[in-house]
Chain A
Amino acid sequence: MASVRDETFNEISRMLDSYRKSAAPITTETDITRDLNLDSLAVMDLMMELEEKFDISIPLNLVPEIQTVGDLTATIQKIREDA
């Protein structure tokens, strides 16, 4: 059975799929600005989409710390657990 974290990761990967620069699948190591077609503004829009999807608020202060899809998953998971 998939863990909650796996489910979160799967949801995020599905949302990021259209931003892939190459055929390589999205992993926890995927770098959000380097490996995906997302500039800093698009990242802000993505955060709003994720907030909507998971019914959470992602504090702006945390965004600079998020580099990889793994970081993003961990951040969202932590916010969901704390809620």
Chain B
Amino acid sequence: MRMTKIYEGAYQWIMLGRDEHKPEKIIDTNQYMVRTANRCLLIDPGGIELFAPMLAAVLHHAPVEEITDLFASHQDPDIISSLGLWDQALPNAKLHASALWEGFLRHFGCETIEYVPIPDHGGVINLGSTELQIVPAHYLHASANFHIYDPHAKILMSGDVGAALEAPAMPVFVENFDMHVEKMRYFHQRWMPSNQAKRAWIDRVRKLDIDILAPQHGRMFKGDDVKRFLDWFEALQVGIAV
């Protein structure tokens, strides 16, 4: 699994993805790790098929006992169906996920890990030396959905917002926004159900200072491409299936 450091300060952000051994028919996903001196947060740690390469990659940066926090943006299997395995592997971990999804996520197995329910208005994840904001992104696309914003690193992990479907082994950052648009259009129009929810999210996110917008599929956006994406998404009609 490819590991890309996207922030280096008093702590690190690492993007993990582009696993070359991924089974062909499962969707490619980006996982993110925030590593502090003695804690480690895994954001959308991935599906069950990805567990082994994901943990093997994480072990380059942190021992299992320091993987203290997991975050699931929503309940989909590509986000967190590996939960039952993390539950067996991590002796001291918490799962931060929507209160709404608790009864659903526990189907994956969650006996050792402490489930920390996130209320609809969001919250924070305190990693000791730093604190991350949990930003509501409901209906984008799941009915209870959250993103993670780091005001120090200026990174917004944006879940399925900003996602694109393209061939494996694509670069990790968008290089030509105009060419990238067609790889995102159908995904957003079909998976995002509500223009109202989209506008609320854009209003909220425009107030944040963002250097990197980091989606769960496809390439990340940095610098001016973040604003280009927000403008493009704002103008896009979503919910096209009805």
Q: Do A and B bind each other?
A: no
Chain A residues with CB under 8 Å of chain B are: none
Chain B residues with CB under 8 Å of chain A are: none
